[in-house]
A and B are shown apart, each in its own frame.
Chain A
Amino acid sequence: MRAERIALLAAWSLAAGTAHAAIEAETQPARQFGYTIGDVIHQTVRLSPGAGQTLIEESLPKPGRAGAWVERRDVEAVRAGSEWRIELRYQFINSPPDLRTVALPALRVQLRDGDRIVDDVLAEAPLTVAPLTPTVVLARAGLEEMRPDTPPPLIDVQPRRQRIALYGGIAGLIGLLWAGWYFGVDLRGRRTRPFARAERTLRRQLAKDRSPDAMRDGMRTLHRAFDATAGSTLFAQALDDFFDKRPALAPAREAVSQFFAASRNEFFGTPAQDGDAREGSFEAANLLALARRLKALEREMA
């Protein structure tokens, strides 16, 4: 019984030895008509090699032109158990002048069977291909040889407009601030009104402390205001020139001269003797009053 079966199998395999392995294909789309230039067709080939047969992968076709009508775009062979699935993608690259039957090329693969090499062929698959337009076009609206250009599509610019407005506003603001800084627009009167600033500082300095040291600091503060007003350091010898250039401050001339004389005594003179009332000595009240007066005159000057 057993021997019988072995003999039968051997006979079958002998018969099958020359027989081709099973090969079948299906295409996607499944139809065989209605194609035109540019269409792409997937062909899935299932190959079941016979017993003892193996696919020689090098025998698979390479991507490239396959005849006048189609180009093989890519070839991929996947093994699933004993079966092979070969994925092929074709694209029509030519347009016939009229309806015509063409074919997807045949697929020829080689299988190794022991020492032999056998071929297996998938027959070519006929398809009909049609032109896109008739050879002669009757010029009617929309069917001219050249269609007019399509108008450019309109894009919604509203968000962009809003963004430009926002950024522009920020840039303008920065520009204004910079210009203000550059051209000396002085929001707090810092540069244009040094005496006003000095008066503020003096009030603060002398509010808590009226010691000789504090007085010296106060005098320095007022000196700096004079320097800032004059544009360079101002000393007693240049006072005449200073007032000639700024007649608005002239009413304070005498008090300012006294201040400069007092400052010279204070900072550069010989130390005062005890109980020796120094000529032209300056009290804190005098200093504040002078600063207030200069502040008022300065406002008129502006």
Chain B
Amino acid sequence: MNLNDALLADWRDKALRLETEVRHAVVGQDHAIRLINIAVFARGHVLLEGDVGVGKTTLLRAVARAIGGAYERIEGTIDLMPNDLVYHTYISEEGKPRVEPGPLLKSGDALSVFFFNEINRARPQVQSLLLRAMAERSVSAFNREHRFPHMLVFADRNRVEKEETFELSSAARDRFMLEIPMDTPAEREIQTALMFDPAFHDTDRLIERVAEAVVPYRELNDIAAAIQASVKASDALQHYALDLWHATRTPEKFGVSLSGVDMGRLVLSGASPRGTAMLMRAARVTAWLAGRDYLTPEDLQGVFRQTISHRVFFTPVYEMRRADLIEPLISQILGHVAAP
């Protein structure tokens, strides 16, 4: 075991500690916590999707607190404009107009988590600004470029309402590494605790249970690169990953069939190269968290749904039925692509 291995093992403990800390505040969401942890160490942005009140915001706040660094949040509203993220103007106490950096710029490069609440309520202009911030981790403002190399965007949206919302464009969704669905915990004991334990009713107190800054956020980028370099993919696995990718483009060639769907005309465009890159990044982190230095098909399967399902686009006829079709399609792809 060389130094690098020892360092990675040490960091693996830190990563698991992060999960433990978050679990102090959020119960019954272990899978979602693991996925967010994967995104943190793969340096990918996360979009949480779920019903109102399942704990999306609490979960993201808890993770942000455990990561440490500067944390900013903004609420998506229909009248939010891109400038509102960059600066804000007001009349000072001396009666003079003042311009202050907005939430995105305020913390400079210390920004570790930018939390966008209800992102689908923000206008497409705002989403466009975010596209660059997410892809390049920089924005231009006040005649210079601002960089936030440690920033992760956590966004959430509820899937209940459609009024006064703007559907995220495919380009915006492609920027998110993981789209994590969140559901109400199914276990009865957890449901009882959520209902009757007063600790879960005060979110601020709940968040305070989470230890702050359990991982040094400024080192995350380097560690993420080390993880990507250390986890190997064998020939058989590369073959499997490529088959998965091709199956999102031409599912019918892999024997995938959905009842009542003309498979040849279903997919308009399959997963993007960026999407597959994110799939592999997330899968490598999964393997690392499991203590392995090589990838297995299960690593890919564990994050395939969350990385790929929002990157497959259907032809207009079937796009209307997306919610009904995407889940069976992903399951069928996983069930039909064989390995080794």
Chain A neighbourhood of B237, CB < 8 A: 267-268
Interface residues of chain A: helix, strand, loop or mixed (majority)? helix
B338:A269 contact, CB within 8 angstroms = no
| CB nearest to B334 among chain A residues | A233
Within 8 A of B (CB), among A139-153: none
Chain B neighbourhood of A158, CB < 8 A: none
B340 to chain A, nearest CB (A): 4
User: Does B102 belong to the interface (CB within 8 Å)?
Assistant: no
| CB nearest to B296 among chain A residues | A268
Compute how far the CA of A270 lies from the CA of B230 in the bound complex, rounded to whole angstroms: 12
A270:B298 contact, CB within 8 angstroms = no
| CB nearest to A224 among chain B residues | B338
Given contacts A267-B236, A268-B237, contact A233 B296 (CB under 8 A): no
B337:A269 contact, CB within 8 angstroms = no
Within 8 A of A (CB), among B222-237: 232, 234, 236-237
User: Does A26 belong to the interface (CB within 8 Å)?
Assistant: no
Compute how far the CA of A57 lies from the CA of B298 in the bound complex, rounded to whole angstroms: 106
User: Does A223 belong to the interface (CB within 8 Å)?
Assistant: yes
Chain B neighbourhood of A224, CB < 8 A: 338
How many residues of B are counted as interface, with CB atoms below 8 angstroms from the partner's CB atoms? 18
A269:B294 contact, CB within 8 angstroms = yes
User: Does B213 belong to the interface (CB within 8 Å)?
Assistant: no
User: Does B319 belong to the interface (CB within 8 Å)?
Assistant: no
Given contacts A232-B335, A233-B335, contact A267 B298 (CB under 8 A): no
Q: Mark B304-340, 1 if CB is under 8 A from A, else 0.
A: 0000000000000000000000000000001111111
Compute how far the CA of A263 lies from the CA of B339 in the bound complex, rounded to whole angstroms: 10
Chain A neighbourhood of B339, CB < 8 A: 223, 233, 235, 267
User: Does A47 belong to the interface (CB within 8 Å)?
Assistant: no
Partner of A219, one of B232, B293, B340: B340
User: Does B40 belong to the interface (CB within 8 Å)?
Assistant: no
B300 to chain A, nearest CB (A): 10
Chain B neighbourhood of A200, CB < 8 A: none
User: Does A237 belong to the interface (CB within 8 Å)?
Assistant: yes
Chain B neighbourhood of A270, CB < 8 A: 232, 293-294
A233:B337 contact, CB within 8 angstroms = yes
Q: Mark A202-240, 1 if CB is under 8 A from B, else 0.
A: 000000000000001001100110010001110111000
Within 8 A of B (CB), among A18-73: none
Compute how far the CA of A233 lies from the CA of B338 in the bound complex, rounded to whole angstroms: 5
User: Does A264 belong to the interface (CB within 8 Å)?
Assistant: yes
User: Does B301 belong to the interface (CB within 8 Å)?
Assistant: yes
A241 to chain B, nearest CB (A): 13
Compute how far the CA of A223 lies from the CA of B296 in the bound complex, rounded to whole angstroms: 15
Given contacts A235-B298, A236-B298, A268-B237, contact A227 B293 (CB under 8 A): no
| CB nearest to B233 among chain A residues | A268
B306 to chain A, nearest CB (A): 17
User: Does B181 belong to the interface (CB within 8 Å)?
Assistant: no
Compute how far the CA of A264 lies from the CA of B290 in the bound complex, rounded to whole angstroms: 15
User: Does B60 belong to the interface (CB within 8 Å)?
Assistant: no
Compute how far the CA of A224 lies from the CA of B338 in the bound complex, rounded to whole angstroms: 8
B338:A268 contact, CB within 8 angstroms = no
Compute how far the CA of A57 lies from the CA of B301 in the bound complex, rounded to whole angstroms: 103
Chain A neighbourhood of B293, CB < 8 A: 270
Compute how far the CA of A171 lies from the CA of B205 in the bound complex, rounded to whole angstroms: 79
Partner of B336, one of A223, A232, A235, A269: A232
What are 19 residue pairs bridging A and B, where the CB atoms are less than 8 Å apart in the complex? Answer: A220-B340, A223-B338, A223-B340, A224-B338, A227-B338, A232-B334, A232-B336, A233-B334, A233-B335, A233-B336, A264-B296, A267-B236, A267-B339, A268-B237, A268-B295, A268-B297, A268-B340, A269-B294, A270-B232
Binding site for B on A (CB under 8 A): 216, 219-220, 223-224, 227, 231-233, 235-237, 263-264, 266-270
